[in-house]
A and B are shown apart, each in its own frame.
Chain A
Amino acid sequence: MSILVDDETRVVVQGITGGEGKFHAEQMIEYGTNVVAGAVPGKGGQEVAGVPVYDTVAGAAREEDADAAVVFVPPAFAADALFEALDSPVDLVVAITEGIPQQDMASVYKRLGETDTALVGPNCPGVITPGEAKLGILPGNIFSEGDVGLVSRSGTLTYQVVDSLTQRGIGQTTAVGIGGDPIIGTDFVDALERFEADTDTEAVVMCGEIGGEDEEEAARYISQYMDTPVAGFIAGRTAPPGKRMGHAGAIVGSSGAGTAESKINALNDAGVPVGDTPEEVADHIEDFL
């Protein structure tokens, strides 16, 4: 089994006529993802990557039964694309776009709360269920089928940890990159809830980073509700206060809020071992299985 996506998921790619959209639509199809349509205003009637393009997401959802959308729309138009996907409607929206203004995302977040749709991202690598489907830009070849779930705020860190797992013969049920922005859809707790409910997921890796309090909240959730064992990794132990480390959300406040130490302590208190290196995370997962 899996969470969020599988080989039945019918995907519409928003922005499929752009460079990134086209390239990754092809990559997704090559991986085996059921990409059924593209959606680009004004480009309806064309065909890209072997799938029909519609002017609207609603058109794609209606004509091709699309139930998930992947968004490769430039930041200035991305919020509108997200509103459109939520309104079409589809069950899942994966937003790859980096650099969406915070206030746009606050409005999207508000609308999201009024729907039943799950949003992953923005500024994320996407979601992959190895051997079945990938929605996003993750390199498919490093993943393998298995029984470990992974949720991460960082794309390349996801690859690093997955690579360690795969090389030890440990496969994954689903990997979800939730993105490093301050305002995101699916957060750690949402993903952990889904992994806990998934009978095939035997253990979960959670990769966090400095900034915000999502990891602390996840720790509270794990200690109260999870039976599935979780191992963690937190990036940014050496980050100085007040400096933004790349991700818009990755900053230790000048009062010290959002430090790696606070997150590691919260996770340890919840019984989650936190690796000092990505290899150590894989060690912990090996111990669980």
Chain B
Amino acid sequence: MKLHEYQAKGVFADAGIPTPASQLAETADEAVAAADDIGYPVAIKAQVQVGGRGKAGGIELVENADEAREAAERIIGMDLKGLHVDSVLVEEAVDFVNELYIGVTMDRNEGRPVAMVSTKGGVDIEEVAAENPDAIAREHVDPAFGLHPYQARRAVYDAGVDHDVAGDVASVLTTLYDLWDDQDATETEINPLMVTSDDEVIAADAVMNIDEDALFRHPDLAEMEDETAGDELEAKANEYGFDYVRLSGNVGIIGNGAGLVMTTLDLVDYYGGEPANFLDIGGGAKAERVANALDMVFSDENVDSVVFNIFGGITRGDEVAKGINAALEQFDEIPKPVVVRLAGTNAEEGMEILNTDLVEVQGTLEDAVQRAVARAEEVDQ
């Protein structure tokens, strides 16, 4: 779960990390009032959960109230990389001499957290990591002890941060690790951490991603979740509790287990079709859940056919079949052709239950996928 910049900044500021003065605004009037209050120049920043906002026109530096109004009117309501901008953060513009990067994340290869510092801040740090990995100083952390202060200092010195601000940067990094640890974050990051001519360090951006599996420990963070932050259908999937990703094709895909669903997507592509989505109903799904999955995929207007691929282990074929029947029997006419492939636990029972007037049944994964691709092409023509 990603926090918005203003939410993450709030968490960082509460922990003692210096942040610029800022206010959230949902209308142009609010934005101008906030800017007047903070004092010009200010930055008007779109609050959407996507990187590269600046390049996409979602951040503007303004010098006076007229410019503030113009920028706020343009940015609020804009479509930024597919996401609707509902609010802007109006923020004091910081006069900086240097931009640093600091961050904490999980190094999955090592199975432990890593704290990182780079003097190449203000740009896409993943590009820096790919092109010039030595430009990032790294310290792995023993989760039992946390980030020792000496490690934070070592990372800062190794990265080549100026001596005048090294102590402050190390201290912010330690706080960033503590937040990562206390709040069950998967990522905490400041990019850029600005250095002013007075040798102050200020977090000009704030990234905080929380481990959704740990939200039960953090009811306060769970409340910050913005379910409208993503795609509309993805928000609906969130309500149903599905792992769902919307894609650009026209063959809807429902299956159980991430690996098998991904494989089904790949096969649709392999046989010349285009997947419309990834939808994993998860393990042990009951009939109602299966019906919800069909409802999800039918409500994507790009979908021309649906392939249902179930290999039961913990999931039972008869339950799935009941769900498919229940979902389809409520229609006078099935909205899109559905191809079903059932294997594994109680698959035979499921096959007997399946209403073959409503769906087409195929015995193998390959056949089911090819058939769904063909049906989508028919509909498309």
Contacts and interface: CB of A to CB of B under 8 A. Distances in A.
Nearest to B256: A156
Interface in A157-210: 157-160, 163, 180, 182-183, 207, 209-210
B244 to A, nearest CB: 9
B283 interface: yes
Contacts of A110: 111-112, 142-144
A153 B111 contact: no
A112 B109 CA distance: 15
Contacts of B265: 236, 238-239
Nearest to A76: B216
A133 to B, nearest CB: 17
B259 interface: yes
Contact of B312 (A99, A139, A154, A238): A139
A249 B126 CA distance: 18
Interface residues of B, number: 54
B106 A154 contact: no
Majority secondary structure of chain B interface residues (helix, strand, loop or mixed): mixed
A213 B109 contact: yes
Interface stretch (A6-14, A41-49, A273-281): A273-281
Majority secondary structure of chain A interface residues (helix, strand, loop or mixed): loop
Contacts of A248: 213
Contact of A154 (B143, B214, B245, B260): B260
B246 to A, nearest CB: 9
A276 to B, nearest CB: 6
B315 to A, nearest CB: 8
Given A213-B109, A238-B275, A156 B260 contact: yes
Interface stretch (B17-25, B64-72, B266-274): B266-274
Interface string A229-256: 0000101111110011111111001111
A157 B263 contact: yes
B314 interface: yes
A212 B144 contact: no
B378 to A, nearest CB: 22
Nearest to A180: B258
Nearest to B271: A277
Given A102-B106, A238-B265, A246-B262, A159 B311 contact: yes
A183 B108 contact: yes
B245 A138 contact: no
Contacts of B178: none
B181 interface: yes
Nearest to A209: B259
A101 interface: yes
Interface in B296-346: 311-314, 343-345
Interface residues of A, number: 64
A102 B211 contact: yes
Contacts of A139: 312-313, 344-345
Nearest to B129: A255
Interface in A92-110: 98-107, 109-110
A106 B112 CA distance: 5
Given A102-B213, A245-B243, A155 B257 contact: yes
- Among A102, A138, A152, A278, chain B packs the most CB atoms within 10 A around the CB of A102
Interface string A79-119: 00000000000000000001111111111011000000000
B283 A98 contact: yes
A278 B263 contact: yes
B366 interface: yes
A213 B258 CA distance: 18
A4 interface: no
B372 to A, nearest CB: 15
A137 B311 contact: no
A75 interface: yes
Interface string B142-158: 11100000000000000
Contacts of B313: 125, 137-139, 155-156, 159
A238 B365 contact: no
Contact of A153 (B124, B259, B269, B280): B259
Given A101-B211, A101-B214, A255 B130 contact: yes
B211 A236 contact: no
Given A103-B184, A183-B111, A238-B275, A254 B258 contact: no
A51 interface: no
A110 B106 CA distance: 13
A29 interface: no
A99 B14 CA distance: 29
Nearest to B126: A255
A257 interface: yes
A142 interface: yes
Contact of A182 (B106, B268, B366): B106
B262 A209 contact: yes
Interface in B355-381: 365-366
7 contacts: A110-B111, A139-B313, A157-B257, A183-B106, A235-B266, A238-B268, A246-B262
Interface of A: 75-76, 98-107, 109-110, 125, 137-139, 142, 152-160, 163, 180, 182-183, 207, 209-210, 212-214, 217, 233, 235-240, 243-250, 253-257, 260, 276-279
What 3 A-B pairs come out closest when comparing CB atoms?
A154-B259, A246-B258, A156-B257
Given A103-B211, A107-B144, A246-B261, 12 more contacts: A75-B216, A101-B217, A106-B106, A109-B111, A110-B144, A209-B258, A209-B259, A217-B109, A239-B278, A255-B124, A255-B129, A257-B130
